[in-house]
Amino acid sequence: MMSVKPYAQAEGSKKEQVTAMFNRIAPKYDFLNHLLSMGIDKLWRRRVVRIVARKKAPVVLDVATGTGDLAIALAGIHPKPTAVYGADISAGMLARAAQKVSKRGLQHTIVLKEADSEALPFTDRFFDAVTVAFGVRNFGDLHQGLCEMNRVLKPGGSLVVLEFSRPHIFPFKQLYGCYFAHVLPWWGGLISKDKEAYDYLPASVLHFPEGKAFEEALVQAGFEVEKSRRQTLGIATIYVAHRPLQ
């Protein structure tokens, strides 16, 4: 699958461009996210949290945590995790996350770290569970990012990935395709003042492996896939996998 960069005509690697893009859109990210998804993104994150809750994981890492919504939701699991780490490459996104974490008094549970998913600053076998929501599609090197998540998981530890996918059912496929390719970039560009960032969103989803192809990428990185569940007619998919015991 071809990897797309946010600013096709500009200099810099995909990773550099993605970091710059998220730093730029960070102040508007939450507002636009909930508006353009009509709030469905919150429902999907809640499902990820329920899966992690069933795994009874005391130490959790949320990769590409962005403005921290998933890390904050994970900190609310009962019994409470001992620690939730949130790692992200964008300082701008993490600054928003830090504000939200301290507003909720969660600074003793949530540890935010500026870090690249392809070189995570954690020792091997440290985490009981790793999550990543709408992050893997943005990695410069998907295989390396998945291998890193595998490395920092304890054997038997779980990975839960939430990522956009493509609806297959007529006529929803066509209607959603039109919204995603035309309406969403127009609104996103207008509000964020970064049209290319919201052109990149549908382009990156179109060129990203979904379903069996993503499961294959997980296996290549050393995971055993437990299940994939398409969400809301296939707009997104939740993948659950674990690091094998041996």
Q: Which residues bind ligand SAM (CB under 6 A)?
A: 15, 18, 22, 33, 64-66, 69-70, 88-90, 93, 116-118, 133-135, 138-140
Based on its alpha-carbon atoms, the radius of gyration of the chain, rounded to whole angstroms, reads: 17
Name the minimum Å distance from CB 245 to ligand SAM. Answer: 27
Residues in a beta bridge with 61 = 85, 130
| Alpha-helix residue ranges (DSSP H) falling in 37-171 | 40-55, 69-75, 91-103, 142-152
Of 53 and 95, nearer to ligand SAM (C-beta) is: 95
Taking the least distance from each CB to ligand SAM, the nearer of 65 and 228 is 65
Q: Least distance from C-beta 242 to ligand SAM, angstroms?
A: 20
Tokens of 83: 């620690």
Q: State the alpha helices, DSSP H only, in 133-194.
A: 142-152, 172-178, 184-192
Nearest partner of 184 among 41, 28, 37, judged by Cα: 37
Nearer to ligand SAM, 10 or 169 (CB): 10
Burial class, 187, CB count within 10 angstroms (exposed 0-12 / middle 13-18 / buried 19+): middle
Shortest Cβ contact with ligand SAM: which residue? 66
What's the min distance (Å) between Cβ of 153 and ligand SAM? 16
Smallest distance, ligand SAM to C-beta of residue 48, A: 9
C-beta of 139 vs 180, nearer to ligand SAM: 139
Q: How far apart are CA 121 and CA 46, in angstroms?
A: 27
Q: What's the closest the beta carbon of residue 170 comes to ligand SAM, in angstroms?
A: 28
Q: Which is nearer to ligand SAM, 118 or 181 (CB)?
A: 118
